[in-house]
Amino acid sequence: MANPVDAARIRMSSVRSLMVAPLVPDSALHASLLFAVGQSQHTAEPPPELSADMMDSVSAMLTNQDTPHLIPLVQEAVRAGQQSLERNPGLTISAKRYAEIRSEFIAKHAILSSKGKQIWPVGATTILKRAGGSWNAALRAAGFSTSKQQTPQGFGSARFTPEQFSNAIRTFKSDAARGNFSTKLQHYVEWRKHLVKQGRTDIPSGPSIRNFYGSWSAALSSTNAEGPAEQD
């Protein structure tokens, strides 16, 4: 007869293994950024070869999301992005522009998301979380310039920095916890309006935050501040 304690341990181990989602490799995150700046680039010169790790990780994710036919197209764009980065050390891209390019690509190729499946190109929120909430840190990790350095035409930085978006959400959630009010989008709008009347100019609007993170709930979950996350 099996030991109940051992059986319980086996069940818990199985549950934990199911709950832990596989991490997206760093190479796939970096490739997503390179793709965003390279997908519109055209050059007569042969682009550089990608590392085997990057090629394998991107190919695996594209295959897993049932789009293996996009592998040649994606690899060409990522290589073009790498070439552009080597030519222009000041190359950068804002989180907002990245999210726009990703959304256009996903819509164009009818890529469907499902529970437990990681979609490539990865979302801006995933990139931010891996970099501790700093878009500049994510850019530096992938070899890009940051928003404080040169910004080429076509990839302009947003009015607010990623840090300002993050700080606004964190402060709002902290104030909501102290003031005992919910973190609904409408309450954020009212909270921001009060601060703007006091002269604050560093607080992004509610729609700007929702566009930056993809949704209001994603914005709320992107910070470590206390408070329940609510859908808009």
C-beta separation of 159 from 200 below 8 A: no
How is residue 93 written in tokens? 């891209």
C-beta separation of 136 from 147 below 8 A: yes
The residue whose two tokens read 């499902």 is 114
pLDDT tens per residue, range 103-136: 899 999 998 877 667 889 998 888 988 888 788 8
Q: How would you class 35 by CB atoms within 10 Å of its CB: exposed for 0-12, middle for 13-18, buried for 19 or more? A: buried
Q: Which amino acid is at 74?
A: V
pTM score: 0.57
How is residue 228 written in tokens? 């329940």
Ranges of residues in the chain whose predicted pLDDT is under 70: 1-22, 42-44, 115-116, 147-159, 224-232
C-beta separation of 203 from 196 below 8 A: yes
Tell me which DSSP letter residue 120 carries.
S
Q: What is the structure's pLDDT at 43?
A: 62
Q: What is the structure's pLDDT at 147?
A: 56
Q: What is the structure's pLDDT at 11?
A: 43
Q: What DSSP line would sit under 1-58, residue for residue? A: ---HHHHHHHHHHHHHHHHSPPPPPHHHHHHHHHHHHHTT---SSPPPPPPHHHHHHH
pLDDT tens per residue, range 1-32: 445 444 444 444 443 433 334 578 999 999 99
The residue whose two tokens read 């979302």 is 123
Q: Which amino acid is at 20?
A: V
Burial string for 158-180 (b: 16+ CB within 10 Å, else e) reads: bebbbebbbbbbbebbebbeeee
Strand ranges, E, within 78-146: none
Q: What is the structure's pLDDT at 216?
A: 87
Q: What DSSP line would sit under 194-224, residue for residue? A: HHHHTT------HHHHHHHHSSHHHHHHTS-
Q: What is the structure's pLDDT at 201?
A: 85
Distance between terminal CA atoms of the chain?
Answer: 52
What is d(CA 100, CA 94) in angstroms, rounded to the nearest whole number? 10
% the chain with pLDDT above 90: 33
